[in-house]
Amino acid sequence: MILEAGKDRILTEVSADMQNGQWGSGTALWTVNDPGLLSAIAATNLLLDANLVTGEIIVTSHTSGTATGVGESFAEYGVKNASGTFYNRGTFAPITKGAEEIITIYTFNIGLVE
C-alpha cells in the first residue's frame, strides 16, 4: 500500500522531472509502447511554462510562440524529461501552424489504485 505521503512524493518528483513539451507531425494513433513522438518537430522542443500538482493531477503548460514551427503540421504532442524520455504521446487531427501563439495545457491524472 502506497501511503498518502508516498503518493505526494511520487507526484512531486514526476512533476519536477517533466521539463519540455514538444509537437510532432506523426499521425499514427498512439500505443502504450511508443518511445515518444513519431516525427518530432525540433523547433517546438521547448521548456514547459509551468507544472502544477493538485491532488492526484499534474497540469503542464507549453507555449509555442508566433515564430515557432510556422508552416509545420502539428498532429501529436508529448511531455518529456531533460534526458528525452517521454511521459506521454497524444494524437489528434493535424493542424497547420500559422503565425499565432499556441498554448498547450496537458493534464496527467496519476491516481493510485487502493
Predicted structure pTM score: 0.88
Who has greater pLDDT, 29 or 2?
Answer: 29
| Structural domain includes residue 92 | yes
Residue where the block lists cell 512533476 = 15
* Tens-digit pLDDT profile for residues 8-61: 899 999 999 999 999 999 999 999 999 999 999 999 999 999 999 988 899 999
In terms of residue numbers, what domain contains 95? Answer: 4-109
Question: Buried b vs exposed e over 42-77: b needs ≥16 C-beta within 10 Å?
Answer: ebbbbebeebebeeeebebebebeeebbeebbbbbb
Confidence of residue 2 (pLDDT cuts 50, 70, 90): confident
| Structural domain includes residue 114 | no
Is the pLDDT at 112 greater than 70? The verdict is no
For residue 55, the model assigns a pLDDT of 85
Give the residue-averaged pLDDT of 80-88: 95
**Which residues, in sequence order, are bridge partners of residue 53?**
58
